[in-house]
Amino acid sequence: MMKKTSLLVIAMMMAGCGTEINIESDSEPTAEDAAAFVAAVETDLTEKSVFEAQVEWVNANFITEDTDAIVAKVSADMTALRVKYAGEAKKYNDLELNPVLRRKLESIKLGINIPAPGNAVDNKNLAQINASLSSLYSTGKGPDGRTLGELSRVMATSRNPEELLAAWTGWRTISPAMKDKYAGMVAIANKGASELGYPDVGYMWRSKYDMPADDFQAEADRLWGQVKPLYDALQCHVRAKLNDQYGDDVVAKDGAIPAHLLGNMWAQTWGNVYDLVGPESSAEGYDLTAQLKAAGYDEKQMVKSGENFFTSLGFDPLPDTFWSRSLITKPRDREVVCHASAWSMDSQDDIRIKMCTEMTAEDFETVHHELGHNFYQRAYKHQSYFHQGGANGGFHEAIGDTITLSITPDYLKQVGLIDEIPGADGDTGLLLTRALDAVAFLPFGLLMDKWRWQVFSGELTPETYNEGWWALREKYQGIKAPVARDGNAFDPGAKYHIPNNVSYTRYFIARILQYQFHKAACDLAGYNGPLHRCTIYGNKAAGAKFRAMLEMGASQPWPDALEAFTGTRQMDGSAVLEYYAPLKVWLDEQNKDRSCGW
């Protein structure tokens, strides 16, 4: 997850520290007025956004009632000014403007993730609700006092269905208290979106992809249609193997899979059940978690390895301040937001990560992912304020994920983490291991925002929030709740990105783009073998082209950035299918006598 300072200003708390922008005028606006307005806003935000990031950083690293109150106050003040800027930006909608200026004006309007209405009461209430929702999640514990980390370890390791169910239901006791607050947030945010000229917040989110909102929804569905056959084959095989393990009373041979059996609190990735579903005659050939520990790695060295990958491609090393200011391990003395994130504090060189790193193969990949955000942020630091971002949200998430595809046996041997590269007979196991996370994630990545689009549009009401959630999970994932859930449960709130209002479609797009980027990088590196065995570690030619795309930031529409690196202007799921082609053959063989679908 990338944490970039939002485009908001703390006018009241920093009075006198910046330029007062007078944007009222009785005359008809001109192109010159629009340019002056954008320049003034950009200067103001460039100067003041640092304090916003510092307040958010302190709150995320020292969760108390006081820091919650401070961040709520700052958020309210920033949102008020941002809403003012967005409202003024509408004045220039009908002018003929050059594409760069028009893009920046749209950034002013669309940069508000959860827009507050113009009145102070709603603005303050929205900020307080959002701070409360975030705190409820971050400080949540099960009825027995176990934290999310502790409950997640049960989900990952236990093979006792009753124990798994207790952990699954235990974490979901944190979210019923969020439901009414969330509904209040939806109502206020939709008022804000309406004032900016959008039907609702979901429509506004879908408008951020350089195409009409309805076209973007169709594009997401098109991409899902490309990769769905691979997911369907994976779901069928996993369901059959879970049935072998637990029996018909726990998981049937047909229909949806109970959500507590897949090794993850949200059933969004399934890698932790590999031992139950993996091929008998094909092994990975190594245990990366064990290899990291045997090699004497600690959490900081894991992050150093991620840095080393990027420098091998020609990127500059991370600044010294990254190491002195990042949070890499969980403190023992206080509550922090452990959800991994990457931060750009000053839109220049003060970049950081914040995560409670553990010595696991999963977190080895996570640090590569988070550093992808940081190296992207640093690559576009020369761009003007409104162009300091990913070409679209999916780009930012895909950069680090692209690098994780190069964490192959060849790469691990080059950096001394394994002694021998396993033969091709281990490829099925390696591909299944990755598919249980990356392919299994695809429908979850799509449905998270589909649920919110329905909530913001009013298709789902507070009374049907939970019903709609499980309807989408069954439709797209073939997953169901393991026990009956009533309308008060608010199970969506048990996932970080819902109470924290983090848009999720970008993660789905990133899963498509990372394979498309990986294929393009491997082609640039002159690689001719199976796509899943390619690593671009140390390849300066691929790195130079990759860096050139990152340096573009958001200065051009995303099809331009995509074309600059891949040669095509359309997102395409075919690289996903190519990468997993050997696995699909194996899955089809396993499923030949099974009844697939749900």
Q: Is 136:177 a contact under the CB 8 Å cutoff?
A: yes
CA separation, residue 212 to residues 114, 197, 203, 219, 518 (Å)? 19, 14, 9, 10, 28
Q: How many CB atoms lie within 10 A of CB 162?
A: 10
CA separation, residue 157 to residues 124, 149, 258, 274, 585 (Å)? 43, 12, 17, 11, 29
- pLDDT given at position 282: 60
Residue with tokens 């109470």: 499
Contacts of 16 (CB under 8 A, 6+ apart): none
Q: Is 173:124 a contact under the CB 8 Å cutoff?
A: no
Q: Is 171:148 a contact under the CB 8 Å cutoff?
A: yes
What φ, ψ does residue 37 adopt, rounded to 5°?
-60, -50
Q: Is 44:22 a contact under the CB 8 Å cutoff?
A: no
- pLDDT given at position 42: 92
Q: DSSP alpha helices (H): ranges in 62-178?
A: 65-89, 99-110, 120-138, 148-157, 161-171
Domains of the chain, by residue range, sit at: 2-142+175-197, 217-590
Query: Which of these, 386, 485, 551, 499, lies nearest to 43 by C-alpha position?
Result: 386
- pLDDT given at position 6: 37
- pLDDT given at position 285: 67
How far the first Cα of the chain sits from its last, in Å, is 32
Q: Which two tokens stand for residue 215?
A: 């076209």
Q: Which two tokens stand for residue 530?
A: 């199976």
Q: How far is the C-alpha of 100 from the C-alpha of 511, rounded, in Å?
A: 29
Q: Give the pairing of strands 341-344 and 351-354.
A: antiparallel
Mean pLDDT by 10 residues, the chain (598 residues): 43 38 66 95 87 92 90 82 84 90 89 84 91 92 94 96 97 96 97 90 93 93 98 98 97 97 97 92 75 94 96 97 95 87 93 94 92 95 94 90 92 93 84 94 98 98 97 98 94 96 92 97 95 96 95 94 95 97 97 95
Contacts of 215 (CB under 8 A, 6+ apart): none
Q: How far is the C-alpha of 13 from the C-alpha of 22, rounded, in Å?
A: 19
Query: Which of these, 436, 430, 437, lies nearest to 282 by C-alpha position?
Result: 430
Q: Is 368:347 a contact under the CB 8 Å cutoff?
A: no
Q: Give 3-state DSSP helix, strand, coil % of the chain, rounded to 5.
A: 60, 5, 35
Q: Is 436:273 a contact under the CB 8 Å cutoff?
A: yes
Q: Give me the numbers of helices (H) and strands (E) for the chain, helices first please.
A: 23, 5
Q: How far is the C-alpha of 518 from the C-alpha of 500, rounded, in Å?
A: 30
Q: Most distant CA pair in the chain: distance in Å? A: 77
Residue with tokens 């705190």: 135
CA separation, residue 176 to residues 137, 171, 181, 189, 491 (Å)? 11, 11, 10, 20, 8
- pLDDT given at position 195: 87
Question: Catalytic amino acids?
Answer: 370, 497
Q: How many CB atoms lie within 10 A of CB 273?
A: 21
Query: Which of these, 549, 512, 470, 2, lies nearest to 257 by C-alpha position?
Result: 470
What φ, ψ does residue 480 adopt, rounded to 5°?
-135, 160
Q: Which two tokens stand for residue 582?
A: 């050997």
Q: What is the DSSP string of 254-280?
A: SSPEEGGGSSSTTSS--GGGHHHHS-T
Q: How far is the C-alpha of 400 from the C-alpha of 510, rounded, in Å?
A: 10
Q: Per-residue pLDDT tens for 395-407?
A: 998 998 899 999 9
